[in-house]
Structure 1
Amino acid sequence: MATPAQHDPAAAPQPSAAYEPVAEEQEGRSKRPIILIVLALVLLIGGYFGWQRYQFGQTHEETDDAQVEGDIYPILPRVSGPVLEVKVDDNQSVKKGDILLTVDPADYQQRVNAAEAALAAAQANVVAARAAVGTAQANVSTAQATIGVSDANQARLQKDLKRSEFLRKEDIIPQSEYDAVQANLKSTSAQRNTAQQQVQVARQQVEAARQQVAVAEAVVKQRQADLDNAKLQLSYTTIAAPVNGFVSKKSVQPGQLVGPNQQLMGIVASEKTWVVANFKETQLANMKVGQPVEVEVDAYPNREFAGHIESLSAATGARFALLPPDNASGNFVKVTQRVPVKIVLDKVDPEHPLRAGMSVVATVKTK
């Protein structure tokens, strides 16, 4: 008995399989124009931005080797001693003249007191020396008056002697009276000579007293200088802020023994900051003072600051290094040098404060 033929799926015709390659080929052909258009747009956009970048590079110079700079004032004591009080903390805002710290003033106050006492003694010596001048001048006057009296007596005795000579010739007066008149005249002459010597001595005493006054006045000036110096040293025990700014790197505590020129803290000035950009020497051909600059600060990525070139350094940064390169050493390798350029901002933005040391990107418009 014959069995019916079994259905073989593999032997069955599959008409859809015959048309698949044709459909994929048609689909690939339909996507090619889109891909070409996208590639063309990418090339056009890339070329446009490349051209823009090329044009930008022809008129601008840019560097990321730049940072914000500011004045930092070291706080250094001028005198030694234990710290009595510290009135500020790290990062605290201070105004010019605010007291930062005080050194114990007891020793320096004692020096002021001693200097004041020495000055008072020297001033008293000046008064005494001037009084001695007055006494010496009085002695001169006394001696001169004695000379006057001697001259008057001498004139009177000379007349008496003439009369006595006449009377003695007439034998009216005895010889003893005549001799007495001569003796009185000689005594008066001797007194006058003594008075003249006294005048010279008194004048010398006046000159010596005046010199003593000059010496005493010089001592007064010296004692006054000592007092001023003692007061100056006393004033150094109070250390004030030199500028408006912020306290930084404080390394002092109450009771600490400090010495002259020991850095205790720093004051970062808040009034003015600027940018120092180190451009390659090959970028300086068209760079001049006054050209506008755009500054991008890493701390404020969405904010641009406008500024201008204030000055260009007269030497490369390598010239100021601790060990500047010596190209005559025999091992020469040419390296493109960088020149510091100072950039000043046109406007201060209080909402975006710039702090010394911040990294920036500076772009100078040279044309």
Structure 2
Amino acid sequence: MEEVPAGKGSGSKPPVNPMRYLVLGILLAIGLVFGGMKLYHSFLYEETDNAQIEGDIYPVISRVPGKVIEVMAEDNGKVARGDALIRLDSLDFVVRRDAAVAALESAKASAEAARAAITAAKANERKLQADLRRSRNLQEQDVISKAELDAVTAGATGSSAEHAGASGQYRAALALVKVREAELQNARLQLSYTTITAPADGHVARKNVQPGQFVQPGQWLIGLVGSSELWVVANFKETQLTNIRPGQKVDIKVDAFPGKSFEGRVESISSGTGSKFSLLPPDNASGNFVKVAQRVPVKIVFTETPDQPLAAGMSVVADVRVK
């Protein structure tokens, strides 16, 4: 009869591999450390990934209708305030300006003629008033008749009326000159609008115009992102705002630059939730009330100038140190 080797019988257990327990122990320790760090982090920080970088967006619009002759702005190009970006056909506006110049010259000529008429009327009035004084003396001495005195008196009175009328015409002519000057100024202003310039320093983020296109006043042609300042708007749940205050330090992580963090601070907290300014804000008095944690925008500014090319709209994760 064959002997069965020890440990190989049908009721024996397989040998235990100690490496299995070692690996499980390491994984458990890592989980405990990671969980402990997350728990510790939750006590000190309030975090949200509902955040993005914001910047000043300047619309470049046309103030007059016209055909686009030239587009100088380049996609993603950097521009300075006052740089010419778009040029419209200016021929019609040049004609209007020239017509306004001619109308102003004509009004000035009329004003000069009216002033000359005043001078003549004033001289005639002085002469006739002197004649009237002499005629009165002569009539008192019975040198001339009463009828002759009446004729001189009528002439003097007429000269005074003529002088007053000329003065009125001169004032009207001066008023017309002011009107023509305003029309010329407006024509020159309209002509200047045919060259559309950058309203601020920045980068071309969106271009929606091409040569040959006819544009209307108020039409959005180019979007500029201001280069002077960027900030973060983080939308925290209302339950996270208990300990958030302006001035607290913030750790900013940008999705576009993994492993890189930027320093910031809380500048302000909005006075209204994001939903309150939506197109259809919720009305809790309607009866269909479902309580949902609202989000409140918090503005976060960079405490140091970022050394990476950040852009408005980039997604970020914001950690606010609350303790």
- TM-score by length of structure 1 reads 0.81
Residue in 2 that maps onto 1:166: none
Aligned to 2:44: 59
AA matched with 2:197: A
Question: Is the alpha carbon distance of 1:121 and 1:153 closer, same or farther for their aligned partners in structure 2, counting shifts above 3 Å?
Answer: same
Change in CA separation of 1:74 and 1:198 when aligned onto 2, cut-off 3 Å = same
Aligned to 1:163: none
Give 1:228 deviation, angstroms: 0.6
CA deviations over 1:266-302 (Å, ceiling 9, x no partner): 1122221111110000011111111111110000011
Q: Distance in 1 between matches of 2:261 and 2:58?
A: 28
Structure 1 SS opposite 2:172: helix
> Which of 258-267 and 232-241 deviates more?
258-267
Larger Cα-atom Rg? 1
* Residue 6 of structure 2 is aligned to residue 18 of structure 1: yes
- CA distance in 2 between counterparts of 1:201 and 1:96 reads 63
Instruction: Name the structure 1 match of 2:165.
Output: 208
Residue aligning to 1:177: none
Aligned match for 1:266, one of 216, 223, 236? 223
**One-letter identity of the residue aligned with 1:321:** S
Cα distance, 1:256–1:31 mapped onto 2, change above 3 Å: closer
Match of 1:348 in 2: 305
For 1:242, the aligned partner's letter is P
Deviations 1:53-75 (A, max 9, x none): 32321221100000111122222
C-alpha distance in structure 2 between counterparts of 1:335 and 1:198, whole Å: 94
Unpaired runs of 5+ residues, structure 1, are 1-10, 159-183
Give the CA RMSD over aligned residues: 2.3
Residue pair 1:146, 1:192 contacting (<8 A) in 2 also: no
Tell me the amino acid that sits aligned with residue 137 of structure 1: K
3-state secondary structure, aligned to 1:217: helix
Higher strand proportion (structure 1 or 2): 2
The corresponding residue for 2:194 is 237
CA distance in 2, matches of 1:212, 1:245: 54
- Counterpart check, 1:361 vs 2:317: yes
Q: How does 1:1-367 map to 2 (within 5 A)?
A: 11-13=1-3, 17-18=5-6, 28=16, 31=18, 35=21, 46-154=31-139, 157-158=141-142, 184-185=143-144, 187=145, 189-350=146-307, 352-367=308-323
Q: Which amino acid aligns with 2:230?
A: T
Gaps (5+ residues) in structure 2? none
Provide closer, same or farther for how the CA distance between residues 211 and 327 of structure 1 changes in structure 2, counting only shifts above 3 A: same
What is the CA distance between 1:18 and its match in structure 2?
A: 2.3
> In the aligned structure 2, how far is the partner of 1:223 from the partner of 1:333?
65
**Distance of 2:156 and 2:31 partners within structure 1:** 115
Fraction of identical pairs, as percent: 47
- Structure with bigger helix share is 1
What secondary structure sits across from 2:207 in the alignment? coil
